[in-house]
Chain A
Amino acid sequence: DAGVIQSPRHEVTEMGQEVTLRCKPISGHDYLFWYRQTMMRGLELLIYFNNNVPIDDSGMPEDRFSAKMPNASFSTLKIQPSEPRDSAVYFCASSQQGISKNIQYFGAGTRLSVL
């Protein structure tokens, strides 16, 4: 398997623009997670899905952030409008419940810079 695939790898945008990050989980995994990593706050869980259904979005910073998972092989994280404080690395991860200790496998991340 190719692992968790994220796109784009890098995104530079201007304040106020819409940003969409994409993720393809590992085939057969039933959990998908979106994380944000910064030097100040470390790795923070934003939202996670189980079988395409959002379970906990309490980590989503505010209404500017939204996430969807229309099917088992695709998810998006959208920021609208973007702000400079959203600059961070965004990771997507997937896992399979009951298998291998529920280990999370991370994608390579999207490095977002909002100017």
Chain B
Amino acid sequence: GQNIDQPTEMTATEGAIVQINCTYQTSGFNGLFWYQQHAGEAPTFLSYNVLDGLEEKGRFSSFLSRSKGYSYLLLKELQMKDSASYLCAVRRDGSYIPTFGRGTSLIVHP
């Protein structure tokens, strides 16, 4: 099976940097996704990591360490619109389907 852990809630200040961590335990590994979900809306894709290292995409970056079962999503220059839930999802080896974590609710305040 799979076990995915994320903090339940985080708060940060507009303009700051925040790091959202995700740890996982899985039998085999075949990719990790980050999704963003605003309140009352659908999850939308942010990033995908399958190899170790940092993937940068504008203000958002995602890091993966397969040996440690660890990923983080880094959000820079925070904006109020970044207030949302961030879902970590892990796909195990041999499976096409990711399992989602419970999500981290990020609150950005002025």
Interface residues of A (CB under 8 A from B): 31, 33, 42-43, 45, 48, 56, 91, 97, 101-109
Majority secondary structure, B binding face: loop
Q: A16–B45 Cα gap in the complex (Å)?
A: 36
B29 within 8 Å of A by Cβ? no
Q: A105–B42 Cα gap in the complex (Å)?
A: 9
Contact A91 B97 (CB under 8 A): no
Whether A42 contacts B42 in the complex (CB less than 8 A), given A31-B96, A103-B48, comes out as no
Contact B100 A42 (CB under 8 A): yes
The count of A-to-B residue pairs whose CB atoms sit within 8 angstroms is 36
Interface size bracket, B side: 10 to 19
Shortest C-beta distance, B110 to chain A (Å), equals: 27
Q: A107–B100 Cα gap in the complex (Å)?
A: 16
Interface residues of B (CB under 8 A from A): 31, 33, 41-45, 48, 50, 87, 96-103
- Among B50, B97, B103, residue most surrounded by chain A Cβ atoms (within 10 Å): B97
Shortest C-beta distance, B9 to chain A (Å), equals: 12
Contact A108 B31 (CB under 8 A): no
Contact B42 A101 (CB under 8 A): no
Q: A42–B4 Cα gap in the complex (Å)?
A: 12
Q: A42–B103 Cα gap in the complex (Å)?
A: 8
Contact A106 B42 (CB under 8 A): yes
Give which listed residue, B41, B99, B102, contacts A108 with CB less than 8 A: B41
